[in-house]
Amino acid sequence: MTTSDSPSSLTPDVVAAITGKLDEVADRARVAAEASGRSGDDVRVLLATKTQPAEKIRVALEHGFTLIGENKVQEITGKAEALADLEPETHLIGPLQKNKVNHTLRHAHCIQSVDNFPLAEKINNRLDVLDETIDYLIQVNTSREDSKFGVAPEDAEELITATRELGRMRLRGLMTVGLPGSSPEEIRPSYSDLRELSEKLRGAGVMPAEATELSMGMSNDFELAIGEGATIVRVGSSIFGARDYT
Ligand SMILES: *Cc1c(COP(=O)(O)O)cnc(C)c1O
């Protein structure tokens, strides 16, 4: 039995809807990249797959997408086996508790949500035991709101300087979550601030020159984020539909 014969509860309509949306998002991302003078290859679409069942994610991976992001370690572990044959590149894009580090490192290729030193140290210590390395992004709170997540922009330099001492972690760039549900005029500064912070920190040698990733932009604003320099956009509901939290 081949994979395509394996039982799936997805109807052909549902599969066609997902692949149609995937093509549409990929097209829009490419057009936005080209409009800002970049190549479509400079921007990767990360599928934000929280609450989505593995069989829907499988459709996207079989359609040629390779990068998925989960918010919860439990969802990464829960779906990993079902998707293992497709070898997705898996990022953690949600908050990580220190007691979940071991499970995360088993399946994640990149942790986008590093925002404090004790967490980074815990990750690094575990990597020492495993004799492995991992990519990470520093999550910055650019929303100018009281968010629990992300280091304040003015504290990013200190955190990055400290985490760069951790030998098993490779800093790839910065990540931010913009203000939810606000207008382009309100959200754009979050993204331009992240780009400017990245340029400043790389220019000053605080971040390595190759740490160029800017993970920013979601379904409602990914083209705007690409216009501001995003290299990874995290798109969920505009591909898979509204999330079902029941
Ligand atoms: C859910 C989520 C996304 C995707 O949001 P959509 O609006 O569904 O595209 C992106 N980034 C993070 C951190 C998320 O939690």
Give yes or no for residue 182 CB within 6 A of ligand 1: no
Q: Would you state the structure tokens that stand for residue 8, as one six-digit string? A: 């799936």
Q: What is the pLDDT of residue 169?
A: 97
Q: Would you state the structure tokens that stand for residue 10, as one six-digit string? A: 């997805």
| 207 close to 171: Cβ distance less than 8 angstroms | yes
Q: Find the 177 Cα to ligand 1 centroid distance in Å.
A: 8
In this structure, the number of other CB atoms found within 10 A of the CB of residue 14 comes to 16
Full DSSP string of 9-46: S--HHHHHHHHHHHHHHHHHHHHHHHHTT--GGG-EEE
Q: What is the pLDDT of residue 6?
A: 54
CATH of domain 12-237: 3.20.20.10
Q: Which residues of 147-163 are buried (b: 16+ CB within 10 A; e: fewer)?
A: eeebbebeebbebbeeb
Q: What is the pLDDT of residue 148?
A: 77
Give yes or no for residue 230 CB within 6 A of ligand 1: no
Span 66-105, pLDDT tens digits: 999 999 999 999 999 999 999 999 999 999 999 999 999 9
Q: Find the 234 Cα to ligand 1 centroid distance in Å.
A: 6
In this prediction the pTM is 0.95
pLDDT, block means (10 residues), the chain with 246 residues: 60 95 98 97 97 96 98 96 97 95 95 98 97 98 82 97 97 91 85 97 97 97 97 97 81
